[in-house]
Amino acid sequence: MIFSISWRNIWRNKVRSLVIITAVALGICAGVFSTAFMKGMMDQRIRQAISTEISHIQIHRQGYRQESSLQLYMNESPAVVEQIKKINHVKGASQRIIIQSMVSSAETSSGVKIAGIYPENEQNVTNLSTKIVEGKYFEGVPRNPVVIGKKLAEKLNVKLHSKIVITLQDMDKNITAGAFRIAGLFETPNSTYDKMSVFVRYNDLSRLLNLPEGASHEIAILVDDNEMVSSVQDEVKALVADYEVLNWKEISPEMGYITEVMDMYMYIFIIIILLALLFGIINTMLMVILERVKEIGMLLAVGMNKLRVFTMIVVETVQLSLVGGVAGMVVGSLISKYFETHAINLSRWAKGYSQLGYDTMVYCNLESEMIINITILVILTGIIAAIYPAYKALKYDPAEALRME
C-alpha cells in the first residue's frame, strides 16, 4: 500500500511533478546520449588503431621496442608466421621490417617510419589496402613500389607515380638510398599516422638493408574475436618463448586506458548531472513535505511508525526520480540507437579530431551495462534526495503537526 500511496502522491500536483520529471529526463537523456557518443568515438579509435596501426598482438625480439635497432631482428620469421596462422582464432599474421628513416622528394624530406611488408599477408592483418584513396595497393608500378599517406604526399609535394628516395643505414652501417615510385596513397582518420608511415615491399627493403633472409623486426597478428586475444597471446608465447609477445593494450597502453578513463569520465559526467538534479528533487520533496505536514501528523497519530513514513517518502522520491530517469533513458537510448547506424558528422572539427587519431564520422555505441548503471545511479539519487525531506518529516511531533494549518 505504501508503494501505491507514494505513486499516487506524485500525481497530486501534476505540474510540479512534471517539471522535475522533465528536468531529470532531460539530464539523463543528455547523459545517455553523451556517454553513447563518447563510447562510440573511443571504440572507433581503438578499432581503427588495431585494424590500421597496431593489430591485436605483436612479436619482437627482446629489447627491440626500447632500442629500435636494425640489428635486433627475428630469424626465420616466415616459418613462425606460418605456425602462428595455424593457431585457432588467428585471422592473419604478417612479418615486417621496421626502420626509422628519411624520405625525400625533389623539394623536401621528412622523417618517417618505413615498414617492409608482404602486401598479401598484410591485407589479412591491417586494413591499409582498403584505405587507398589514389592509385593501387602495390600495383601499377613494376619496380620498388611504395604506398604512402596522402598527408605525407602533400607534405613532400609529390603525386601518384612520383619518385621518392628513401635514405637509410644498412646492416653494415653504411648510408644507402633507394628510389621508390608511389603506387598508392592512403588516408586514415589519423593524420599523424598518415604523415609518418611509409610501406614498401619486404624484399625491396630487405635488399636495401642487407638483412639476412627471413629476418624481420615485427610480426603482427590479427585475431578474429577480441575476447580471444589473451588466449591467442598465450599460445603464441608458448610458440616463440624467446621473443616478446605483447597484446595491443601492452603495446599502446594509452589505448587500453582510453576505455577505462572514458568510462570514468562518463560516470563523473552523469554524477554531475545527477548532483544538479539532486537539489531540484530535494527542493520538490521539501515543498511536498511542507504541504503535507498535517497529513504526516495524522499518519503518525493513527499508528504509522516513523520507519514506514520514512520509507513512504523515500519510495515517492525514488519513483519520482525513476519516472524521469526511465523517460530520459528511453529517449536517450532511442537517439543513441539511431546514431548507431547514422553517423554524426564532425568534419567541421575534422582537423583537430584527425590529428588525435579520431574518425570524423562517429557512430554511437550504447551499452546495456551503462543503462543498468545509470538506473542504479538514478535510484541512489532518489534515495539520497529523500533523506533530508524525510528527516524533516520525521521531526514533526504528531500533535504539533495536526495543529498546523
Partner 1 sequence: MSIIEIKNLTKIYDGSGFEVKAVNGINLSFEKGEFAAIVGPSGSGKTTLLNMLGGLDHPTSGEVIVDGQNIWKLKSRKLTDFRLYNIGFVFQAYNLIPVLTAKENVEFIMHLQGRSKKERDSRTRELMQAVGLEERMNSRPSKLSGGQQQRVAVARALASKPKFILADEPTANLDSKSTETLLDIMEHLNKEEDITFIFSTHDARVVKKARRVITIEDGKVKSDEVR
Nearer to partner 1, 4 or 174 (CB): 4
Q: What 3-state class would DSSP assign to 96? A: strand
Q: Applying CB under 8 A, which of residues 171, 272, 290, 301 lies at the interface with partner 1?
A: 301
**Residue 16 binds partner 1, judged by CB under 8 A:** no
CB of 8 to partner 1, least distance (A): 4
How many Cα atoms within 13 Å fall on the side-chain side of residue 39? 22
Query: What CA–CA distance (Å, rounded) separates 285 from 156?
Result: 67
Nearer to partner 1, 232 or 289 (CB): 289
**Residue 294 binds partner 1, judged by CB under 8 A:** yes
Binding mask 31-50 for partner 1 (x = CB under 8 A): --------------------
**Residue 306 binds partner 1, judged by CB under 8 A:** yes
CB of 297 to partner 1, least distance (A): 8
CB of 10 to partner 1, least distance (A): 9
Residue 171 is classified by DSSP as T
First to last CA, the chain: 27
Of 146, 159, 147, nearest in space to 107 by CA: 159
Nearer to partner 1, 225 or 400 (CB): 400
Nearer to partner 1, 228 or 298 (CB): 298
Residue 128 backbone zone (phi > 0: left; psi -120 to 50: alpha; other: beta): alpha
Q: Applying CB under 8 A, which of residues 143, 174, 260, 303 lies at the interface with partner 1?
A: 303
**Residue 15 binds partner 1, judged by CB under 8 A:** no
Burial class (CB in 10 A: 0-12, 13-18, 19+), 362: buried
**Residue 282 binds partner 1, judged by CB under 8 A:** no
Give me 338's grid cell.
Answer: 539511431
CB of 314 to partner 1, least distance (A): 17
Nearer to partner 1, 256 or 398 (CB): 398
Nearer to partner 1, 115 or 293 (CB): 293
Binding window for partner 1 (CB under 8 A); candidates: 18-26, 47-55, 291-299, 343-351: 291-299
CB of 306 to partner 1, least distance (A): 7
**Residue 351 binds partner 1, judged by CB under 8 A:** no
**Residue 9 binds partner 1, judged by CB under 8 A:** yes
Amino acid at 18: L
CB of 312 to partner 1, least distance (A): 11
Give me 230's grid cell.
Answer: 589473451
- CA dihedral 86→92→98→102, nearest 10 degrees, is 160
Nearer to partner 1, 8 or 47 (CB): 8
Residue 13 is classified by DSSP as G
Contact present, 137 and 184 (Cβ < 8 Å):
yes
Backbone φ and ψ of 273, nearest 5°: -60, -50
Residue 74 backbone zone (phi > 0: left; psi -120 to 50: alpha; other: beta): beta
Backbone φ and ψ of 213, nearest 5°: -65, 135
Partners of residue 352 on adjacent β-strands: none
**Residue 295 binds partner 1, judged by CB under 8 A:** yes
User: Binders of partner 1: how many residues, by CB under 8 A?
Assistant: 21
Contact present, 93 and 157 (Cβ < 8 Å):
no
**Residue 5 binds partner 1, judged by CB under 8 A:** yes
**Residue 175 binds partner 1, judged by CB under 8 A:** no
**Residue 300 binds partner 1, judged by CB under 8 A:** yes
Contact set for partner 1, span 225-254 (CB under 8 A): none
CB neighbours of residue 263 within 10 Å:
18
Give me 377's grid cell.
Answer: 545511479
Q: Applying CB under 8 A, which of residues 267, 308, 330, 340 lies at the interface with partner 1?
A: 308
Query: What CA–CA distance (Å, rounded) separates 232 from 55?
Result: 13
Q: Applying CB under 8 A, which of residues 304, 327, 346, 383 lies at the interface with partner 1?
A: 304
Contact set for partner 1, span 369-398 (CB under 8 A): 397-398
Give me 36's grid cell.
Answer: 553513447
Binding window for partner 1 (CB under 8 A); candidates: 33-41, 48-56, 107-115, 294-302: 294-302
- Interface residue list for partner 1 (CB under 8 A): 1, 5, 8-9, 12, 294-295, 298-306, 308, 397-399, 402
